[in-house]
Structure 1
C-alpha cells in the first residue's frame, strides 16, 4: 500500500518518521518541520531532499501556491510551474491537488504526470467559489495546458 499524507503540525512530524510513499506539505508546514524559514530555493530543495533521504519519504510534493510545486524524490528535485488562473477562492486548493495526485497515480500515471495533474486540480479549485472543489473539465483543460507548455520548452 502507498501511504500519502497531507497534514500539518505534529501529525506531519510523526508521519514522516514512519516512512511514506508521498507527503505534501506547503511551505509553512515544511518550514515548521525543518525548524527554520525556507525562503531561498536552495533551502527548500535541501529540506525536501532531507525528507526523502533522512525520513525515508519516497516523494515530497512541496506546494508553493501560485509559484507551483517542488517535487523531491530519489531522482532529485524538479520544479513545476502552476498555470495562471483567476483566483476566486483558495479554499480546497491543497485538497484538490492531493486528490488529483492520487487519482492520477491510481490510474497508473508516472509521478511526474501525477504532479502535473495535481497542480491542474489545485489551480482549477481556486477558480471555484467558497469550499467548492475543482471541476473535472477545468482540471483536464489546465492539465492539457501544462503538458503543452512542457512540450513547447
Structure 2
C-alpha cells in the first residue's frame, strides 16, 4: 500500500484494457489517482485529448534552489510530464512509452510568487516505435517560462526492454 492513498500509479492490467487517452480521462475525472510526483511538485493533469496534454501547477518555496529561484528540475519535470503524456494519448491499450531523450530551454526564472503555470504538450510525430513531442510552460499572463522537446520509444506494456 502506498504511503499516500491519494496518489498512485496505473496498474499494468488496467493499461492493458484502456487506451492512453481513456486512462487520462479517468485520472482527470478522479477515477484514478495522480502519480506521486504530481503531489511532490504540486502540479496535475487538467486536460487531455489525442495528441495533447495540459498540466497546471504552482511552484512553491519548497522547490527553490540554493540561489532563491525555483530549481530547474521543476519546469523540466512538468515539461517531461506534458511531453510524454501527449504521446500516451495517442497510444492504444496495452502500449506505453518511455522517454529516451528530452531537451529543456529555461527562458525565465520562476519564484513562489509566479503563481499558477500552464504546461501544454503536443505530439509532433507519431511513429510505430518512436514519437516526438514539444511543450511550452507559460505563466498566467501567457509569458513563456520554458519550452522543450522529447523523443519517446513506443513499447508494449510490461516489456522489460
Measured against the shorter chain, the TM-score band is 0.3 to 0.5
Name the one with the larger helix percent: 1
Higher strand share: 2
TM-score under structure 2 normalisation?
A: 0.31
Please report the TM-score for the alignment, with normalisation by the length of structure 1. 0.32
| Structure number, greater radius of gyration | 2
Q: State the structure with bigger RCO (CA 8 A, min sep 6), 1 or 2.
A: 2
